[in-house]
Chains A and B, each alone.
Chain A
């Protein structure tokens, strides 16, 4: 095969869902040995395209050419046989199975008598994980890993197939900088070997670093075609959004001197130890650190999810003890969890039910809900946060990831919380939505609310925080003004000791 012929060509792919034309005559050409970025706002149809390419669904019309010959990809198994491996946006790992089992799910190596060859499962899984530079045991139960590690297992599944084309739908949304760099190295190695890579991400900085060509979608249509090699972030953004978006990080300074929350020597059995910090009214306190450094665990300790084994939380000068989440919520805390799919959304509700779920008490009199107020408030929030208006009529499982995330945040905007813990609030949402979230943060701090921001996007953390607490191994090693820190400082500060330490017992 000469490198000039595309490995795959997708011509005029059209796919409609009830009421939405998700892909409208989309054409993409994938060359061997090239990383192709598929970009666009939330809901523009990226995942729809990927589901078609990987046989999960059939296009309404269009043509698929493999080595120039028309083929149909009738189901995921057919895609696999054609050498296509896909990492979907939605997790498809089974949490109760081991890492090795997940990596080979549906494709288990067997010995001569048809029984599963466990030695091979574990050896092969270990080899793939080593190639990816991931420090996770093949025997570990996948559900016990952090979200980021689970994402890496998800990617390992695709890598293990040794495919000629690999599709990644937002593989880095749950990853820290360190893991992203390792993933990029892996992709570069695959590109060397002539693999075609289709890559979706909302982190434009990494797109700029790794992608060779781009296709940009807007409202289901291609607005920038394949083959563009000169990639410039601001051009991409204006092509995606269709207009100039202005300041990327519109940070306002709203921090005051009053202390609203103080943590002293917090410890839990989940690995938090000796965590002390104070949070001011109107402040954004950023928690920086690598994946698995214990930031999510600190959030859980504050919110009453994990029991404190030591230390004291003081709220507005009064010592408090949260035995359960509901105690924390009553005291005015809110947690926007890292994993919106499992911990955040009610997929059986429309936007309204999701928005008001944490405020049903305030919304009802004698147990009867004020549905008019609910619809009105939801309507306003949908307008303010620029959420797809479909959310008013449809249950949220039909929405794109970015719209779902905005709805989870809207829930805590609607509730009367004073302190919001935002765990990776912009994970997987488009640039426009990210800016909407930043503006929301401003709106909250302006109103005197305080925010603890957890983010693996260092630029975002630096730009949106007033102060940054650097977390390592479950403890805060230092707290500094965000303005005194550069991107490189933060990377170094959070990673200056190897994070694999606590896991060595595992392997």
Chain B
């Protein structure tokens, strides 16, 4: 248990709290119950997709395809519900399956074709958007199914449904990463692929699996997107992949692979959404929002890179050092 809630969470958690405090102090409506529940709706799609993006990053890959895959899957879902007449209970599992399948393709091409995932998912980013446009002459499809909206807007015990999805998937992901063989292998492959081969880990299979997970989580996001707007559109999910990666990075995941905590990604996503929300409430234009998002990413990575220097500086300022030899060190200071 100790390992899941380790020190890696302190930074992202502190960042989230600080950002929330600033927004709460500067913006009147931020703490309204309405706004808060709106916030959990807003964060849900990015945060769910970011689970997959983060796991791919843990294995030293990158997934740029999720935004376009959302568009493609909302169009397929819309097509199935509106024109093919497939019932919702069947269409939803099918979409989840297709998400996993698309991820499998990307994973196989990446791992077995030995093409960097930056390239394969960049290709997918472009191609999926194009594929989405082949449905319904490229026009959005509206009013899909009245049963779709409650998936997003429904409440259980007064709590919005997306909250439960977040809890479910993040608990599952944290369990997988921290307590299972698969999770350990993902970190191992990201940490040192050459050593992983020599210890008998099937590196390609593990890499492929991370993309299957990413595809599946993207499908979950796509379903929520469709439910939110009761529609499918080839324009949905623009830059969603970048927001998901940003959530991972703000949460402290190392793009070099092997390091990071999945729960920190949730905090990263919250931080980003809180900032956006604060700017929205203050009627900041979207240009400003993007600039601020860029700065947050830089700051988050910077703090991570300079962690040693920062803690050294703090140590010197407060004359504090951990553990046994502290008395010796103090003498010197």
Interface residues of A (CB under 8 A from B): 14, 16, 18-21, 24, 60-61, 303, 305, 325-326, 329-330, 335, 337, 342-349, 353, 356-358, 360-361, 363-364, 367-369, 371, 411
Contacts and interface: CB of A to CB of B under 8 A. Distances in A.
A18 B315 contact: yes
A183 B170 CA distance: 57
Interface string B175-202: 0000111101101101110111111111
B320 to A, nearest CB: 10
Nearest to B176: A367
B179 A371 contact: yes
Given A325-B200, A346-B258, A21 B184 contact: no
What's the dominant secondary structure at chain A's contact region? mixed
B154 to A, nearest CB: 32
Contacts of A356: 184
Interface of B: 3, 179-182, 184-185, 187-188, 190-192, 194-202, 258-259, 311, 315, 321-325, 328-329, 332-333
Contacts of B187: 346, 348-349, 353
Contact of B332 (A14, A326, A342, A369): A14
A14 B329 CA distance: 9
Contact of A367 (B180, B311, B321): B180
A361 B201 CA distance: 10
B3 to A, nearest CB: 8
23 contacts: A16-B329, A18-B315, A21-B328, A61-B332, A326-B201, A329-B199, A337-B198, A343-B194, A343-B195, A345-B192, A346-B188, A346-B258, A348-B258, A349-B191, A360-B184, A360-B185, A360-B201, A367-B180, A368-B179, A368-B180, A369-B180, A371-B3, A371-B179
Given A18-B322, A348-B187, A353-B187, A335 B198 contact: yes
A61 B259 CA distance: 33
Nearest to B324: A19
Nearest to B316: A60
Nearest to B331: A14
A24 B332 CA distance: 9
Given A16-B321, A353-B184, A367-B181, A348 B195 contact: no
A369 B198 contact: no
A350 to B, nearest CB: 9
A61 B198 CA distance: 43
A411 B198 CA distance: 12
Nearest to B260: A348
A16 B311 CA distance: 13
Given A348-B259, A349-B191, A325 B198 contact: yes
Given A16-B329, A368-B180, A371-B179, A344 B198 contact: yes
A21 B329 contact: yes
A346 B191 contact: yes
B321 A357 contact: no
Contacts of B3: 371
Contacts of A411: 199
A417 B201 CA distance: 15
B202 A369 contact: no
Contact of A369 (B181, B194, B197, B311): B181
B179 to A, nearest CB: 6
Contacts of B184: 353, 356-357, 360, 369
B251 to A, nearest CB: 16
Q: Give the most central of B184, B195, B196, B197: most A CB within 10 Å.
A: B195
Contacts of A325: 197-198, 200
Contacts of A326: 200-202
A371 B198 CA distance: 22
Nearest to A374: B184
Contacts of B332: 14, 16, 60-61
A360 B202 CA distance: 12
Nearest to A21: B325
Contacts of B182: 367
A358 B321 CA distance: 36
Nearest to A356: B184
B331 to A, nearest CB: 9
Contacts of B259: 348
B322 A19 contact: yes
A157 to B, nearest CB: 24
Nearest to B192: A346
A220 B1 CA distance: 35
A24 B201 contact: no
Contacts of A335: 198
A329 B196 CA distance: 12
Q: Give the most central of B179, B198, B323, B325: most A CB within 10 Å.
A: B198
Contacts of A343: 194-195, 198
B181 A361 contact: yes
A342 B195 CA distance: 7
A232 to B, nearest CB: 31
Q: Give the most central of B180, B181, B190, B323: most A CB within 10 Å.
A: B181
